[in-house]
Amino acid sequence: MKNFTYYRPLSLEAAVALLDTRWGTTELLAGGTDLLDLQKEYIAQPDKVVSLTFIQDPVFTRIEVPQILPGTKPTVSIGAAVKIADIAEHAELKHLFPALTDAAAQVGGPQIRNMGTLGGNLCQRNRCWYFRDEHVLCLLKGGRRCFAADGENRYHAIFTKGHPCVIVHPSTLAPALIALGASVEVLGPNGKRTIELSKFFQAPTKPDQREHVLAPNEIVVRVLIPVEGLRNASYEVRHKQSYDWPLAQAAVAFRLIGGKATDVRIVLGHVAPTPHVATEAQKVVEGQTITRELAEKAGEAATAGAVPLSQNAYKVHLVKVAVKRALLLASGAQPDWVI
């Protein structure tokens, strides 16, 4: 790891003041589970590391669930510095947003969840092995081409149309949060702004872009989730039960009125450079009663537009399964599959 100067601001404003207007020279450190790996591999070589660990601001460090009364539109606030383990184990969040807490409970292992934060999970870099190899000059590091496009790409994107870099977005919390209609409050030199989470991610194609739309001198302060009484669930297909990245993930949310699903959101993870909203699948489910047959149809529709790479056509099937199972879980059906 290249050495650096370590800063320990005690307020979010002081942290923003330390940030550069360019990427690469200064990095924010929260849980460190991603940044330290990137530094050890010389993918990140910052001169300055700004630690967010000692900022006590409750907006940044706490989960706030307001009292939920009929006729009100309450919003849950989760500080960006909240540990993933604390989201996974929060009783009220489990009740309101099982899509989020189930996804959180499956992030890495216990140690990763005790270290990693919500903000870090949303802002982490992608896991492409070409990107993470110091010796490979890929598109994201200023090179001329994406090596995964026709190389070792079994864990890469299947929604590849229009994407010169075929990474998958690594966050499993993001698809759940997008399905729940969450937004992100960020702080920059000109104050706070709020971004809908569905517009927070971008597919990077060059070194001065990240997987999100934040400016280099902006910090995620908190995530806001409206409490809308949505049924919701997340389902991940993975090689191993624990400590593994999903091969495909589906997060769903909908309102159930008179047995019919409305306001349907279906968001896929680990199949595209950003969390992928499955518009066609949403149309299939909208206004319908969720049955096994309908869930299967939605799964088929979710793969519309998929153009898999040489080694990952298998993911197309996994998307169908993930969407079907997430819909069934959210509708309250007992899982009939063996894990």
Site for other proteins contains 202 (CB under 8 A): no
What type of residue sits at position 9? P
d(CA 286, CA 193) in angstroms, rounded, equals: 32
**Residue 2, interface with other proteins (CB under 8 A)?**
yes
- Look-up: residue for tokens 């297909």? 237
- Length, in residues, of the chain: 339
Shortest separation between residue 320's beta carbon and other proteins, angstroms: 27
- The one-letter amino acid code at 268 reads L
Q: Which is nearer to other proteins, 243 or 314 (CB)?
A: 243
Min dist. Cβ of residue 1 to other proteins (A): 5
Closer by beta carbon to other proteins, 173 or else 182: 173
Q: Does 14 bind other proteins (CB under 8 A)?
A: yes
The distance of closest approach from Cβ of residue 80 to other proteins in the complex, given in angstroms and rounded to an integer, is 16
Closer by beta carbon to other proteins, 9 or else 226? 9
- Return the sign of the alpha-carbon dihedral for residues 124, 253, 322, 285: negative
Q: How far is CA 184 from CA 162, 196, 199, 323, in A?
A: 26, 6, 10, 25
For position 238 contacting other proteins by CB under 8 A, the verdict is: no
Name the E strands within 166-247: 183-188, 191-196, 219-226, 231-237
Contact string 99-138 vs other proteins (x = CB under 8 A): ---------xxxxx-xx-----------------------
- What is the spatial distance between Cα 79 and Cα 60, in angstroms, rounded to a whole number? 4
Nearer to other proteins, 115 or 307 (CB): 115
Contacts of 279 (CB under 8 A, 6+ apart): none
Q: Decide if residue 243 touches other proteins (CB under 8 A).
A: yes
Q: Which residues bind other proteins (CB under 8 A)?
A: 1-10, 14, 17-18, 29, 32-33, 36-37, 39-40, 48-49, 51, 53-54, 85, 108-112, 114-115, 241-243
